[in-house]
Structure 1
Amino acid sequence: MKEKIIERGSWSFKNLPNSWSWCKFVDVCINVTDNKRKLQQKDYERTGLYPVIDQGAEFISGYSNDDGLLHQMTPPFIIFGDHTKCLKYVDFHFIQGADGVKVLVVPHFNSKFVYWALNAIRLPDKGYSRHFRFLKESFVPIAPMQEQHRIVSKIEELFSLLNAGINALERAKANLKRYRASILKAAVEGKLTEEWRAKNPPREPAPKLLERTLTERRRKWEEEQLKKFADKGQTPPKGWRDKYKEPVKPDTTNLPTLPEDWCWATIDQIAFYLHNGLSKKPNQVPPGYRILRINAVRPMYVNLNEVRYYDYPNDDIKSFFIEDGDLLFTRYNGSIELLGVCGMVRNCIHPTLHPDKLIRIKVLLGYPISSYVEFASNNGFSRKHMVSRARTTAGQTGISGTDIREMPIPFCPLNEQKQILEIITERLSLVSNIEELIDKSIQRSSRLRQAILKRAFEGKLIPQDPNDEPASVHLEKIRAERKSNVDKKSKKPPRKKAGTA
């Protein structure tokens, strides 16, 4: 008969120092999970007398005032998330969260030592399945008792230094985020180029540029109308030019004053094309045309690899293929931070469609206006306008084409637009590079944490003391004590039956 393979946690080493011993998990930890006293997540309070501990990532997940739910054992405890594999060390009384929480106590060893050991075990990853079954089949390396205390002290010393470094990196990252925001704010207010502007007068002030843009807008409309008449073999009727719809002007009532030679404009004034995409549900896999997912668009970025596939249709869809320079706005999104954000299409090599949940516009006069509008629409009062227009219908938060048309843009001269784009590109690129370095350092610190634990439980983190009582001796004492307790229970005289002499 084939021997059953037992899945359990593993270690990257097998050999231990002579004074150490491997010990079964069930001989180290006692499962004291209380299946009666536990609180459902829906009953958590934001504040209260007693903390609720569950298997979630947050150390304390909620509170309750019900002292009848307090765990009855004496701390400290080790909490293990059956689904999440999350480990927590709890040295106070708490209320157990419902489902997936395993509460462990360590009666015969240093509980912090065991806690760190459990953090070092590599358990099989079964997704959101249950993992305690693998943990309880595992073995734990046990050091002499005095060495356990010294190892815990060293681990906490090193982790304290590591945490201080991580906190410094996180503060630096937060400062970079504020710096980025200040650059973008200064750019749309004209403060970023204030000194440059004093030395570089505009070749064409923004109001004049806007006039030229409006003239080009009308010319394109007339060109489009004439083509429609020609395609139908018709002669343009009298007064056909009067049907041109003037673009909406900006409502400057609550908008700030801009620098000299700047002016407020709307997307409607500087764009000649604004359309929704295709509404038919695409497929996850080929064949078909590539069509963008809604999450392809992020502020100032379009990820052309975030695609699904649209069945080859019989009808004409050529007007739905995106092109370099197109601006895409998110029409719907569950997150207000990502609703109405804009990204520009760049380096689009493969024919790619856009879906109904993305609104596509084409800006008049091309670069740099298209890049400038991409940047401006995601910041300042332009962004505030979009957020203010968000509305929820049928559980979806969205904006409309009208909201985009009416978006105010702080319009500046072309040479200043180029200068702004050059400055923010340079500075934001520097910020991104520093953030990447910080993220890599944080990731390295996570690996270093595991390396410290590995050395600790190989017995290599601190020197061995030959005077320490070997773990095997301590284990023998525990076994003897357990046997003695069992013998005492078995020797108890039988209880007399009621009514007998």
Structure 2
Amino acid sequence: MAYVQLGGICNVVKGEIGITKAIPGDYPMVTTAEFRKSHNKFQLDTEAVLIPLVSATGHGHASIKRVHYQEGKFAFGSILAACVPKDENYSAKFLYIYFNLMKDYVLVPLMKGSANVSLTLGNLKKAKVPNISLQTQLDIVELYSKIRIEQDKATDVLAKQETDINYLRQAILQEAVQGKLTADWRANNPYTEDASQLLKRIQEEKAQLIKDKKIKKEKALPPITKDEIPYELPEGWVWCRLGNTLLYSDSGKSPNCVKRPVINQEWGVLTTTAVQQNRFVENANKVLPVNYEINPKQIVEIGDILITRAGPINRTGISCKVDKLNFNLILSDKTIRLKYIKDSLFPDFVVLTLNSESIRNLLLDKMIGMASSQVNISQTNIKGICFPFPPLEEQKAIVEKVNALMGLCDVLEQEVQQSQAHSEQLMQSVLREVFEGEKTI
């Protein structure tokens, strides 16, 4: 296929306004983002393809995330260039389709720079465009429109499937904390110790540790009233305060409060971004200098239950697996740790319960702050929430059941994501064949 240079068929115009300096107005303002802003003045009144002049990722890496098509009166940012066909021999919509699908092969190689990678107007004008008839261009535009309609239908179906999977995940957690997932397990294990007896043993052991001065005595939590109970529990379960199942809770300190040096070890501070629902992000922690003063009481241990007391609403808790890290961790001052008696509480059960909708709502009701940005919750409020407490062996059975079902959800989600990727790849493949002259339309 023969090609021409973009500068030969288009006027290439640089944007006049800095994106952050746009004044909201009546005209669409094209930026590098997916959606338009607005501006009180327009720069062009025509059809054009808008191409970013700066790398989408930076840091010495050349990339273009998206190309835009715009018509009518519009403004555009100074980090974009508008390509306007010089005559009717080229369609702006065709050029948009071509550059959007072929940007990694046609535009990105023209970007230069070691740190701040950019695309100059001179280099952009050298971009190769297929030298094909206007009718062929219009045929490609029509084909693209038909494929896009079908792809949009498929995308809607796949998006609904993803939503359904998310609903399914939450339904699984809710069934778990109501004891519905393990009804058969209870029928097959009728002689399991009642949760009330387990709770009594926890309180007795806790009292002994207080007596031995190994832990501090905490203020007694109030009994649960009938109005606080959100739903009925199976026989053998009990409603209790979360704090009644624990030894104690603690939180990290600000850096100037840590003491006692630990020599020749790498340490990190557990950040709020490291704690996510049902998982622990190993690389989202702040690394501290070697020989930094560390308080041993603040060291995060394998199996700790962690809750962010400040941060986005959806961060409720996680069982921490620190053995995956290449450095040790201490608690931050925005993280609460729940300590429990081993063989009396299964930490993964606590995590999935705190992430279930009904119990999470109890937790969120205790949070204060702006829901859209930052919220805060105290240790007292966390320990005071109503908690559905099953026998220890059933806690383990619930976690096993939930993990198996969540694994199936993971498979379904992966299939949906692969279908989405395949749909996009198929469209690009068909149109690339058209551009390369390998397909007749």
Alignment of 1:93-108 (within 5 A): 93-106=72-85, 107=87, 108=89
Q: 1:342 aligns with which of 298, 311, 317?
A: 317
What letter corresponds to residue 275 of structure 1 in structure 2? Answer: D
**Equivalent residue number for residue 231 of structure 1:** none
Alignment of 1:328 with 2:299, yes or no, is no
Q: CA deviation at 1:420?
A: 1.8
Which of 361, 379, 384 does residue 361 from structure 2 map onto? 384
Aligned to 2:69: 89
- Root mean square deviation of aligned Cα: 3.4
Q: Which amino acid aligns with 2:332?
A: P
Residues 322, 354 of structure 1: 8 Å contact kept: yes
What does the per-residue CA deviation read over 1:103-130, in whole Å, with 9 as the maximum and x for residues that have no partner?
3332321222221222213333668765
Matched residues in 2 for 1:219 and 1:427: separation? Answer: 39
1:176 aligns to what? Answer: 165
Offset at residue 326 of structure 1 (A): 1.0
Call closer, same or farther: CA 1:35–1:297 in 2, change over 3 Å.
closer
For 1:222-241, what per-residue CA distance to the aligned partner results, in whole angstroms no more than 9, with x for missing partners? 23x1x69xxxxxxxxxxxxx
Gaps of 5+ in 2: 57-63, 259-263
Q: Of residues 43, 49, 55 in structure 2, which corresponds to 1:78?
A: 49
Structure of higher CA gyration radius = 1
Q: Is the 8 A contact 1:289 1:309 kept in 2?
A: yes
Aligned length: 410
Residue 101 of structure 1 deviates from its aligned partner by: 4.5
1:436 deviates by 2.1
Q: Would you say the 8 A contact 1:250–1:407 is kept in 2?
A: no
Q: Which position in structure 2 is the counterpart of 1:204?
A: 193
CA distance in 1, matches of 2:416, 2:69: 28
Change (3 A) 1:257 1:72: closer
1:407 to 382, 385, 393: 385
Distance 1:41 1:386, change over 3 A: farther
Alpha-carbon distance between aligned partners in 1 of 2:294 and 2:98, rounded to the nearest angstrom: 64
Q: Compute the TM-score of the two structures, normalised by the length of structure 2.
A: 0.80
Higher mean alpha-carbon deviation, 247-256 vs 262-271, is at: 247-256
Q: Between the two proteins, what is the percent identity of the paired residues?
A: 23
How far is 1:400 from its partner? Answer: 2.2
- Residue 174 of structure 2 corresponds to 185
For 2:34, the equivalent position in structure 1 comes to 58
The answer for the alignment partner of 1:361 in structure 2 is 338
2:254 equivalent among 274, 279, 300:
279
The DSSP-based 3-state class of the residue aligned with 1:167 is: helix
Matched, 1:266 2:241: yes
Distance 2:37 2:131 in 1: 32
Whether the 8 Å CA contact 2:15–2:76 is kept in 1: the answer is no
Cα 1:28–1:201 change in 2 (3 A) is farther
Name the aligned partner's letter for residue 349 of structure 2.
Answer: Y
Distance across 2 between alignment mates of 1:436 and 1:36: 42
Q: What letter is aligned with 1:58?
A: E
Task: Check conservation: 1:37, 1:70, Cα contact below 8 A.
Answer: no
Check whether the contact 2:43–2:76 (CA below 8 A) recurs between aligned residues: no
Other structure's SS at 1:336 match: coil
Look up the match of 2:59: none
SS in 2 for 1:43: coil
The residue number in structure 1 matching 2:221 is: 248
Task: Please name the residue that 1:121 is paired with.
Answer: 103
Letter in 1 for 2:28: V
The one-letter amino acid of 1:89's match is Y
In structure 1, how many angstroms separate the alpha carbons of the residues matched to 2:309 and 2:116?
33
Specify the code of the residue in structure 2 equivalent to 1:157.
K
Alpha-carbon distance in structure 1 between the residues aligned to 2:290 and 2:79 = 47
Structure 2 Cα separation of the partners of residues 315 and 145 of structure 1:
71
Which amino acid is 2:339 matched to? K
Q: Answer whether contact 1:325 1:345 (CA < 8 A) is retained.
A: yes
**Counterparts of 2:23 and 2:135, CA distance in 1:** 44
Q: Per-residue deviation at 1:258?
A: 2.2
Residue 434 of structure 2 is aligned to residue 456 of structure 1: yes
